[in-house]
Amino acid sequence: MTSTLTKPARSPDGLRQAESILRAGGCVAVPTETVYGLACDATSSKAVANVYAAKGRPSFNPLIAHVDGFERARSLIELSPLAKKLAQTFWPGPLTIVAPLKENAEVSDLVTAGLTTLAVRWPNSDAMCTLISRLDRPLAAPSANKSGSTSPTRAAHVEDGLAGIIPLILDAGASPVGVESTIVQTQGESVVLLRPGGITRERIETVLGNSLEEGKFDRSQPNAPGQLSSHYAPSAKLRLNVSSPNDGEGFLTFGDTSKSDGPMFNLSTDGDLIEAASLLFEGMRWLDQRCERIAVSPIPASGLGEAINDRLRRAAAPQ
């Protein structure tokens, strides 16, 4: 049992302590604009193994290497012209680019889980970027939750899953985007959407001037991303596209919906998908603590609705 401290992400003391834990091969929960990540030195297999162990994560699922700029990204992966264009448009921000790993890239095999590609993201997070710069190394960071459970968008959510397991959580309040990064795989002229997320398909397609190709889901090779069909799951059972809940069901709603007698969490009374994404995991956790079954209103499929519906489908999948 480790005692877990929570410190403000801006405090010099918190950052110093995070730096020394990371240098020693440990892991620290660090806020990002999407969700909180469980960061470790991506060049150290010992450190990455610590993260897998803390999360109880199946070892075939590779991690994202976080960087603090284009130069570090270029030292790790081959950026095609289209990948460069996407990076220049959306970094720092909620876009992860999977691309061929460079031969001399300094990154542990445990980060790629043995693949010849690597997922890289430059997050819009002062704490994460400061730590990467101070270590002068990429930080690998999956979401800071037990594998398969709901991603954390607040320090308290990290504590719920990982208190007593990790030494330090840096706290920067609620993650503004609230769903994980969009993951695209680029190779030559091809750009494949592997996971919808914080940057919408529409924005990416506008930059490409083309439609994104769909990621092929191969069940025998779940190393393509977030593709385990049951994921992000609360303990409660979810029922999707419900306009009025049954007795005893909690209600996760969107827009101007009718009242319910049971616990109710509205993702956005104004029907704003950006607000809804930022509150999605928080709402799922809040209802999960209050009911065994959760009904979910229909949510539009466009814009950030694609990522929201993706997370809801996975949360509702049989476990």
In the bound state with ligand TXA, the residue whose beta carbon lies nearer, of 53 and 241, is 53
Q: Cα-atom radius of gyration of the chain, to the nearest Å?
A: 19
Cβ at position 227, least distance to Mg ion in Å? 12
| Identity of the residue, 180 or 310, whose beta carbon is nearer to ligand TXA in the bound complex | 180
Structure tokens at 159: 């504590």
CB atoms within 10 A of CB 289: 12
Measured from the CB atom, is 234 or 245 closer to Mg ion? 234
Q: What is the nearest approach in angstroms of ligand TXA to the Cβ of residue 209? A: 24
Give the bridge partners for 99, in sequence order. 118
CB of 78 to Mg ion, least distance (A): 25
Q: How do beta strands 293-296 and 190-195 pair? A: unpaired
- Tell me which residue of 86, 106, 108, 111 sits closest to 96, measured CA to CA: 86
Query: Binding partner of residue 119 among Mg ion, ligand TXA, none, CB under 5 to 8 Å per kind?
Result: ligand TXA
Q: Which is nearer to ligand TXA, 161 or 225 (CB)?
A: 225
Q: From 106, 44, 40, select the one nearest 73 (Cα to Cα).
A: 106
108 binds, among ligand TXA, Mg ion, none (CB under 5 to 8 A by kind): none
Positions in the binding site for Mg ion (CB under 5 A): 143
Q: Which is nearer to ligand TXA, 10 or 60 (CB)?
A: 60
Residues that bind ligand TXA (CB under 6 A): 32, 34-35, 37, 61-64, 94, 96, 98, 112, 115, 117-119, 121, 123, 141-143, 180-181, 183, 194, 224-226
CA–CA separation, 142 and 59 (whole Å): 12
Reference 97, options 234, 236, 255, 208; nearest CA is 208
